[in-house]
Structures are given as structure tokens and as C-alpha cells.
Amino acid sequence: GAVVSQHPSWVICKSGTSVKIECRSLDFQATTMFWYRQFPKQSLMLMATSNEGSKATYEQGVEKDKFLINHASLTLSTLTVTSAHPEDSSFYICSARSPIQDTDTQYFGPGTRLTVL
Amino acid sequence: AQSVTQPDIHITVSEGASLELRCNYSYGATPYLFWYVQSPGQGLQLLLKYFSGDTLVQGIKGFEAEFKRSQSSFNLRKPSVHWSDAAEYFCAVGGTDTDKLIFGTGTRLQVFP
């Protein structure tokens, strides 16, 4: 149980284009999902907290107009990197929590490697 | 300030040897503590967690961790390491007052045959 998927697993795009990353909880409903960014050989940095049906809460320093987060259902959250630039290249990981059981544990997706040329 | 410190950036052990990865935390409220493992290019897998109760926690893959409040530590241990344990290990802290996790900088484990 508690499986989280991400799609795509990797993506290469041209500078200036937008990229959408999906995060799905496969066997549970997640009222809260989290988006992290990880640079090579570094730890995870929380970008935003996404609650189903409401606006995401962004961490300080994260541009909400650049990193658009939508949590339209209890099993799906999306992160759209708008007008991507090479400095946005990174490993993006989502996590999800179940509102019913094990509410304080985050289960992580496999990550999405974004490369912006 | 809330923080997690993993003092060892890189640890190398021989297969079959014992392992201890250190984690110290600073947290104002009652902490929830986690250990996650990340293989190269992959997401994070939960190894074990501590919320309350018995301070010695058993996890998957033969790992265990001990919560020591007096030392603000939550060290991860394994009696005999396997080559497949080579990965990056992250300690994280959360709590009743937040839904966020604070991660340490990670410890890279290398296992020699």
C-alpha cells in the first residue's frame, strides 16, 4: 500500500517552454501532497504544500507563478514549470499523505528528472 | 530553529560489517522522526519511523533506529550490511505542530565486497 507514482520519470525540454509533472497516489486518497526539489548530491528542499481543492502553500523563495501547482482531486497533483530555463533543471519529487491512516507519514514518488536545454 | 544534522556525508563499510548512521535533530515540539533511503535516480523509500512508545524502532530491510531524547538523536543501525544497501540515507523530522518534514543533508553509504 501507499504507492505514489510520478509521470514522466524524465523530461527534456527547450528553454522557454512549459512542462507538467503529475503526481498520483495509486492506492489511497491524499488530501495533502508535497513537492520537493533536489539538486545533485543534495537534500530535498520543500517547494510547496498542496491541499486538495485549495491553493498551494509555497515556501519562501519559491515563485508561485513559475511553479504552478494544482491539486484537483484526491489522487492527483500536478506541478507545471512555466517558461522553463536551464536553472530549473533538477530532480522533482512529490510525496503524499493519507488523511485516514498513517496521517503523519509522507510517501514519496520516484521523482522526475527535468533537463532544460 | 528546527533542523536535522547528519554529520557523516559519506560512509564506506565492508559487506557484512555493522553500520550506524548518525542523526541529530533540533525540534521545539514533540518530534516525529523518519529514516528514508534513496537509490540513485529514485525517489525515497521509508525505512522506519518513530512517533511515540518504544524508543527502539524496527524497520524494513533489517534496519533499526533508536530514539534518544536526551541526546536529540535518532541513529540508524544495521548489524550486517549487504551490497544492496549502498544508497543515500536521509533522516527527517516532523511533528504534531506541522505537516512538513525537515530533511538532513543525507549520508551516502558505499559498501565494498
pLDDT single digits (tens) B71-98: 999 999 999 999 999 999 999 998 877 7
Distance CA B42, CA B33 (A): 21
In whole numbers, what is the pLDDT of chain A averaged over residues? 91
Distances (CA, A) of A21 to A32, A71, A80, A82, A102: 17, 12, 6, 11, 26
Nearest CB to B99 within list A32, A107, A113:
A32
Do A111 and B51 count as a contact with CB atoms less than 8 A apart? no
CA-based nearest residue in chain A for residue B51: A104
Q: Mutation target for B interface from A106, A112, A113: give the one with most B CBs within 10 A.
A: A106
User: For the residues A93-102, what does the mean pLDDT come to?
Assistant: 80
Higher per-residue confidence, A91 vs A99: A91
pLDDT single digits (tens) A36-77: 999 887 888 999 999 888 889 999 999 999 999 998 888 999
What is the predicted pLDDT for the residue at A72? Answer: 82
What is the predicted pLDDT for the residue at A102? Answer: 66
Smallest CA–CA distance, residue B2 to chain A, in Å, is 14
Confidence band of A103 (pLDDT split at 50, 70, 90): low
Distance CA A98, CA A25 (A): 9
pLDDT-flagged residues of chain B (< 50):
none
Chain B residue numbers with beta carbons less than 8 Å from the beta carbon of A46 are 100-101
What is the predicted pLDDT for the residue at A100? Answer: 67
Q: Is the dihedral of CA B28, B33, B35, B38 positive or negative?
A: negative
Chain B residue numbers with beta carbons less than 8 Å from the beta carbon of A113 are 41
What is the predicted pLDDT for the residue at A1? Answer: 67
Q: Per-residue pLDDT for A101 more than 80?
A: no
